[in-house]
Chains A and B, each alone.
With several copies, the nearest count.
Chain A
């Protein structure tokens, strides 16, 4: 239809200002990270901008990143998962318990806790899809039950390995000077990125998150996709729990709980990175690293406790807010 083609975008004067805002909207969150790095480099020139510290930050990010990237899968499909922290805790306890009481080898324990994670994910998915309970309630409920299982296994007391050295090696081993957890994080990130962006499954997840009805009518098996997202998420949580236990050679009943909020914070922060509120793996990774850099900066500069909270809160709001504000301007 030739007539319709006339309306092509014309490069006009007002566009430049709006382009500027658009740029800001896209890179706003990254700018916040950059500003953070620059300021800290100035304030702590000897300790912050070093290769060692960069590796240190990546290493600290690894566990949070893995659980947050898993959560991203669930968020991409338009769901929620409040049970990840509990699942991570359970995974750690279960892994240590299996190694101590059932003489499981490390790889076998890993497989076992992946299965455990998978089952939790299946249950979440079942309650959400089949019972039609909103994901928030469902995962809150399942999470509570997971705590119960955890208590049943451990009776609430920490489970410690008798001879933890091999297990600890997962956390402390290095290859080319870089700790294993960093590699694990990167491999999982690559895998999840590929799953989300280079497979039909991943594309289907994004479609389900975008419009569930349209996805269903497009032939996408919506319920199956949602269940898979929950399973991936819980399995990532389980891996984080496993690695957490390998940091200590022992596992406590609520060790992983704190990951819940931090994973949400990272994912939401990440949804403002380069995108307009869509969750994506790279963004989540940037989100986790931003939080780690923030925490690292505080520790290196040394701030009063209350400043630490101010700082974290502001980081979150500004990281997301700068981008959305700019995008709003760009659209206006």
Chain B
């Protein structure tokens, strides 16, 4: 037990550990004026010489939502990790109810009633929903006997409160991303959290799922829970939060009242300068004739792998950017995996540059010129423990016809260096470990490694999940740049706003491609409606097949 309240109030739930004597009022107590539930003051943290946080302070009131915004690598997650006892601050203090507390490890945080839903979902895949929710609860410091009936009762109660209804005995492995997220949240509520920090909860949610979460947050705040909310989805931040703190390069640059702020201002604060509004493909170089004038690169007919993909047919032309919209679980990832041979189709045909194309492995796909930037960069895109340099070289090795080929570290590094510059990857050096990079920069590395193989068709699955506004604009620029060089691009996204960069958007629902929306008719609400299967569309080609 390392919770050391500095004032003479016993730590909650722990009788055994008395005050560590030193309650001598040498240190000035907290100003009695503060009413905040949680305060972090003057927090600084460096990693091997680089400053992640530089004397930041933040305060969360009970029953309110305090949002934390900032570019990738601004230090948001680091702050949360310090609060969670995962990292130790070099300087600064944490106050709970105006009392100074010590959070040396996650256990302390849990004992203090602080709950966390971290950026990487932290569940045990092979555990059932119930067991995941029960994890870490139980009487601290005592090895109790499992009271399964009680736990089930409590879990049911939490589910009711959150308004979700996932069978408690299903393995978490089997759940969709948003359901997993609810399980995480449920775990926090199993132990009467007074404070919950959420690090990019909606990153891979659809709008529908996000609004479901908003409702839950409302319910929690009305019970007096304080929430620290981190997200790159600025509209959502403005909607859900009461206060917004913006970090830039480890420093606090502003605290804004959500009600008096707009997206424009928030963006400027985050990036430090004005960012042009996301330019839609239409406005920029509107060229709806691409499809007619350019040769077809990939042609897909009746591609199937039941039950997730059923009879998909479409064409992608040279230099064209095609989007695929859909709800989570619509089967888009599965479709992408079929295109690169990560899974085998059970029916249908493909032609690539007019030649039959039936990849049996990602290797064959890459050799033929089709690459997939997978949706989970940490688990599927990167070797986190390896250098940026080696990560950037991976797909080139994978596309090499012979494994006996020479590997030339010098030229490989030079190529990697050039890619880093081209995509402005921010890292200490090319020898830096991928693990140390912020999310946006990691994503750029993944895109970079595939671009290095000069694919004719690049498939990107959720390319900007967890990427900040600035870096997001850069990734769009990379995508449009590639297209203008003749590369065909397929963008899968649940963030319909970004599908504006596409020449054409296909809509997938229940494993089938159900509609095609040209850039001229692009409209987010319209897309959403299509994804849900409402048919009040105008002029869109409904391709109801199979």
Contact = CB atoms under 8 A, between A and B. Distances in A.
Interface in A8-59: 8-12, 14-15, 18, 22
Interface residues on B, range: 35 or more
A210 interface: yes
A211 B73 contact: no
A203 B470 contact: no
A246 B272 CA distance: 72
B125 interface: yes
Contacts of B126: 210, 276, 278
Contact of A203 (B50, B187, B397): B397
A5 B397 contact: no
A174 interface: no
A198 B404 CA distance: 10
Contacts of B342: 216-217
B329 A4 contact: yes
Nearest to B136: A218
Contacts of A9: 48-50, 307, 428
B327 A214 contact: no
A210 B124 contact: yes
Interface stretch (A219-227, A256-264, A299-307): A219-227
B546 interface: no
B374 A217 contact: yes
B212 interface: yes
A332 interface: yes
Given A6-B510, A203-B135, A219-B398, A15 B49 contact: yes
A215 to B, nearest CB: 7
Contact of B385 (A12, A199, A200, A210): A210
Interface in B60-87: 71, 73, 84, 86
Given A213-B380, A214-B381, A199 B406 contact: yes
B383 A7 contact: no
Interface string B478-514: 0000000000000000000000000000000011000
Given A15-B48, A210-B386, A214-B122, A198 B110 contact: no
A221 B383 contact: no
A217 B342 CA distance: 7
Given A211-B124, A213-B122, A220 B470 contact: no
B414 to A, nearest CB: 16
Interface string A167-206: 0000000000000000000000000000001111111101
A7 B124 CA distance: 24
A211 B51 CA distance: 29
B355 interface: no
A204 B386 CA distance: 13
A1 B212 contact: yes
B306 A217 contact: no
Contacts of A276: 126, 385
A137 to B, nearest CB: 18
Nearest to A8: B50
Contacts of A15: 46, 48-49
A73 B72 CA distance: 37
B90 A7 contact: no
Nearest to B327: A3
A323 to B, nearest CB: 16
B116 interface: yes
Interface in B167-188: 176, 178-179, 187
Given A10-B49, A12-B46, A217 B90 contact: no
B397 A207 contact: yes
Nearest to B81: A217
10 contacts: A1-B178, A1-B426, A198-B145, A198-B409, A199-B144, A199-B405, A207-B135, A214-B382, A217-B118, A221-B361
Which are the 9 A-B pairs with shortest beta-carbon distances?
A219-B398, A219-B110, A210-B383, A218-B136, A210-B124, A219-B366, A214-B122, A9-B50, A219-B136
Given A200-B139, A218-B110, A218-B398, 7 more contacts: A1-B178, A12-B307, A198-B146, A203-B135, A203-B146, A206-B386, A276-B385
